[in-house]
Amino acid sequence: MSQQQVMSPPSPFNRGEIYPTFSASYEIYRGTINNKPVFAQTCRLQSPLQTREHLSDDFMQAFSKRLESWSKCNHPNIVTLIGHTLLEDSIPTLFIPTYKNGFAHDYLLKNPSCDRLRLVSGIAKGLQYLHAIKSPIVHQDMRCQNILVDDNGEGCLTAVGTRFMFKDPLGHSVHWTAPEVLRSRENDDNDDVEMTPPSDVYSFGMTVLEIYSGRLPFHEKNSCQVLLDALNPQGNRKLKRSDYPSPPDDIWRLITKCTSEEPSQRPTMDEVIRDLTAC
């Protein structure tokens, strides 16, 4: 697949101001396409070597294939992919609609008394949809910085299946990543290894913890410590209730089920929805 086959947005993108994010792997710009406001999510390339990697044939094929899967999604809790292309300096870029409430981490800071159950329920419905379609899609990078908030206060998933594209050079994503994924990556450079619906459920649980507590999962540890704990069979990865007093008891029980060390012990998203409905 040639680089020219990457789907372009419907008309030229007019770049505006940068949107503040906490990501070391991408930048987000406000802008317009056909005078309609959009967000542009661009890779934050770290080196010329990374630039060459992003322009390789293998990358471009994966780039188009994954985003084609996302573009076919049709659900109110999945953000629409407007288009994707290579901007100046050959930087891979995605285009998505703007949301008045912005990304979840900003929304929570600006609205500390918001309905967190509504926010989480929207995220769960989006993930349930991805896992239930004929060819299930694994989100791969579930956390607040990949969730937009709609006008009803529900979470909507963006960056669907794009973890391979927006690699995190500082390793911050390990705080949300299932332990079996972290262990498998030590033995395989393929960024997609062992990414499954149960690994999404684990990340969902950590995202719920983030939303209700306002804290990073394993906030008392740096990324290296979180990774070492996952690699060490005796590592301490059990969440302590005393470190996260904010979530109600029923939400805490859901978090602990979703973040079980054993993938087979985690609920499906259908079961998660039932639990949330009972909260």
State the pLDDT at residue 169. 45
Phi/psi for 27 (5° steps) reads -120, 150
Q: pLDDT, tens digit, for every residue of 17-37?
A: 666 665 556 688 888 888 889
Same domain, 209 and 268: yes
State the pLDDT at residue 171. 54
Of 41, 64, 97, the domain-final residue: 97
- Helical spans, DSSP H, in 22-85: 48-54, 57-71
Enclosing H/E stretch for 179 = helix 179-185
Q: Which of 27-31, 79-83, 140-144 has the lowest mean pLDDT?
A: 27-31
State the pLDDT at residue 221. 87
Same domain, 264 and 142: yes
Average pLDDT over residues 30-51: 73
State the pLDDT at residue 88. 61
State the pLDDT at residue 265. 96
CATH code of residue 155: 1.10.510.10
Enclosing H/E stretch for 116 = helix 116-132
Enclosing H/E stretch for 16 = strand 13-19
Residue 55 has pLDDT above 70, yes or no: no
State the pLDDT at residue 268. 98
Q: What is the mean pLDDT of the chain?
A: 83
Same domain, 130 and 88: no
What percentage of the chain exceeds 90 in pLDDT? 47
Same domain, 143 and 196: yes
Burial 21-41 (b: 16+ CB within 10 A, else e): bebebbbbbebbbeeeebbbb
Same domain, 173 and 72: no
Q: Which of 38-47, 52-61, 93-102 has the lowest mean pLDDT?
A: 52-61
8 Å CB contact between 195 and 181: yes
Same domain, 43 and 114: no
CATH code of residue 68: 3.30.200.20
- Report the SS3 class of residue 208: helix
8 Å CB contact between 11 and 33: yes
Same domain, 222 and 189: yes
Q: pLDDT, tens digit, for every residue of 165-215?
A: 655 544 558 889 999 988 886 655 555 456 899 999 999 999 999 999 999
Same domain, 84 and 13: yes
State the pLDDT at residue 23. 56
State the pLDDT at residue 6. 40
Q: pLDDT, tens digit, for every residue of 119-139?
A: 999 999 999 999 999 889 999
Of 45, 77, 97, the domain-final residue: 97
Average pLDDT over residues 130-156: 94
State the pLDDT at residue 248. 97
Same domain, 33 and 151: no
Q: pLDDT, tens digit, for every residue of 223-264?
A: 888 888 888 866 667 899 999 999 999 999 999 999 999 999
Of 199, 235, 243, 197, give the one whose Cα is nearest residue 219: 243
Same domain, 53 and 154: no
Report pTM: 0.86
Of 97, 117, 143, the domain-final residue: 97
Q: Can you point out the beta strands (E) in 71-208?
A: 83-87, 91-97, 147-149, 155-157
* Structural domain harbouring 65: 3-97
pLDDT level of residue 69 (50, 70, 90 thresholds): confident
Same domain, 46 and 174: no
* DSSP secondary structure code for residue 30 in this structure: E
Domain count for the chain = 2
State the pLDDT at residue 234. 67
Residue 48 has pLDDT above 70, yes or no: no
State the pLDDT at residue 5. 38
State the pLDDT at residue 93. 82
State the pLDDT at residue 57. 67
How many Å separate Cα 45 from the centre of its chain? Answer: 19
Farthest CA pair distance, the chain? 56
Q: pLDDT, tens digit, for every residue of 97-114?
A: 999 999 999 999 999 999
Same domain, 48 and 176: no
